[in-house]
Structure 1
């Protein structure tokens, strides 16, 4: 499949949650139990104020990537977990007036071709907030390289989420995100 034919646009993620989670499972290595838990989380997130999603869809309608996010809310679980780490690095103010990228995943067969970049820049271009935050596994990876190329920098590292085996980094970037020259 030529990724030039893949279209990026708004997606009804609630209606396509199982298809999106199948992509996430392949990209992130989730088992059936983790998928079931994440399904409820995604559907709950989509009810939050300002939540929106974009998908990467092939001409035959298959979802090969997605991103979703929302204006950050300090009362949400993610913010309550990362706040002490950000406070320790003097960056807790990033939790205010930020658009959080909740999930970004591209099917492994379509990775490395710019779809993740297009998904994240498309969704953040719709944000009214002046900056964006996200968390990513705290290891050198193509995802972290992508985020750095877009202007994200580490705000806190070695962030431990309950039930996550590996530590995460919280990253932030001013909006709009950097574009390739």
Structure 2
């Protein structure tokens, strides 16, 4: 488990460690809704998706918890499988770029979210590096909204590079970028 100091005297310290995501799904989706701006209908759809993902072999989740046990961030992912919905959507984009081999032997970061009040404190970095440090795959892939954002900046700092841009997911209002990085992820110097 990784302990992170808060950003100031009123910010509690946070510990990153294993999370029973199925048992804490409501808390996790509340964090995701705040961080990502989800409606109640979108939250309900995501609830079913998360439960389905957790059934996949190798799926794992970590949480960022305050001293009082409040969940303020989470990450989950799994070894990629080309038959998964996400892979079937991104594969043509990666193939066009000659990079569809990234779909093999990769660990997918499915979701990574930190409560807005706790962002900028290294929690997202700790979550993603800790989860990828514990996998057997030699690389990691993820998708992020295709705009310059703190999240994309973090991913780049960790070694992720754009593999495909302007990826359109059905029902998503904005295009995404697919990013990939060799493991282990880069660390701050």
Taking structure 1 as the reference length, the TM-score comes to 0.98
What residue is the counterpart of 1:46 in the other structure?
54
1:25 maps to 2:33: yes
Mark the runs of 5 or more structure 2 residues left unpaired by the alignment.
none
Q: Within the alignment, does 1:10 sit opposite 2:18 as a pair?
A: yes
Q: CA RMSD in A?
A: 1.0
Structure 1: stretches of 5+ with no match in the other structure: none
Rounded Cα–Cα distance in structure 2 between residues aligned with 1:156 and 1:170: 5
SS class of match (1:81): helix
Q: Count the aligned residue pairs.
A: 181
8 Å contact 2:14–2:67 — kept in the other structure?
yes
Q: Secondary structure at the match of 2:163?
A: strand
Match of residue 95 from structure 1? 103
Residue 155 in structure 1 maps to residue 184 in structure 2: no
Using the alignment, how far apart are the partners of 2:79 and 2:169 within structure 1?
20
- Residues 56-76 of structure 1 show CA distances to partners (whole Å, capped at 9, x for unaligned) of 001111000000000000000
1:62 has 2:81 as partner = no
User: Normalised by the size of structure 2, how large is the TM-score?
Assistant: 0.94
